[in-house]
Structure 1
Amino acid sequence: MFRELHHQRDPLILCNVWDAASAIIAEKLGYQAVGTSSAAIATSQGKTDGQNTDFETLLTVVKQISEVTPLPLTVDIESGYADTPQEVVDNIAKLADLKVVGINIEDSHLIDGRRTLVDKHVFTKNLSQIKTLLNDANIEMFINVRSDTYIVDAETALPETIDRIRLYETVGADGIFLPCLTAPDDIAKIVAHSSLPLNVMCMPKLAGFEQLKQLGVKRISMGNLVYDNMLAHLEDTMLSIKQQGSFEPLHFSD
Structure 2
Amino acid sequence: MSDRQEAFHALHHAGRPLLLPNAWDHASAAALAARGHPAIGTTSLGVAAAAGRPDGAAATGAQTLALARRLARLPVLLTVDVEAGFSADPAVVADYVAELAGVGVVGINLEDGRADGTLADPEDTAEKIAAVKAAVPELFVNARTDTWWLKVTDPLPRTLARSRAYRAAGADGIFVPGIADPATLRLLAERIDAPLNALYQPGGPGLEELGRAGVARVSTGSLLFRAALAAAVDTAEAVRAGGVAASPALPSYAEVQGLVAADGD
Do the structures match in fold with TM over 0.5?
Answer: yes
User: Aligned partners of 1:198 and 1:47: how far apart in 2?
Assistant: 30
Stretch of structure 1 that moved more, 186-195 or 44-53: 44-53
Q: Note the C-alpha offset of 1:123.
A: 2.5
Q: Does 1:119 align with 2:121?
A: yes
Match of 1:83 in 2: 88
Q: Residue type matched to 2:52 in 1?
A: G
Q: Which of 12, 18, 26 is the matching residue for 2:18?
A: 12
Q: Which of 57, 61, 71 is the matching residue for 1:51?
A: 57
User: Aligned partners of 1:128 and 1:15: how far apart in 2?
Assistant: 27
Match of 1:214 in 2: 212
Q: Note the C-alpha offset of 1:228.
A: 0.5
1:185-204 deviation digits (Å, cap 9, x = unpaired): 21111111122100011223
Unaligned runs of 5+ in 2: 1-6, 249-265
Q: Note the C-alpha offset of 1:126.
A: 3.5
1:137-163 deviation digits (Å, cap 9, x = unpaired): xxx210000100011216621111111
Quick one: structure 1 residues 25 and 243, their matched pair in 2 at CA, closer, same or farther if it must change by over 3 Å? same
1:109-166 deviation digits (Å, cap 9, x = unpaired): 21xxx2211122332234223322334xxxx210000100011216621111111111
Match of 1:232 in 2: 230
Q: Does 1:249 align with 2:244?
A: yes
Paired residues in the alignment total 242
User: Aligned partners of 2:114 and 2:21: how far apart in 1?
Assistant: 25
Secondary structure of 2:19's counterpart equals strand
- 1:131-146 correspondence to structure 2 within 5 Å: 131-135=133-137, 140-146=138-144
Secondary structure of 2:12's counterpart equals helix
Unaligned runs of 5+ in 1: none
User: Aligned partners of 1:184 and 1:155: how far apart in 2?
Assistant: 20
Q: Residue type matched to 1:215 in 2?
A: A
8 Å CA contact retained: 1:85, 1:126: yes
User: Aligned partners of 1:238 and 1:251: how far apart in 2?
Assistant: 14
8 Å CA contact retained: 2:20, 2:219: yes
TM-score, length-normalised on structure 2? Answer: 0.85
Q: Once the two structures are aligned, what percentage of the paired residues are identical?
A: 35
Runs of 4+, deviation exceeding 3 Å:
none
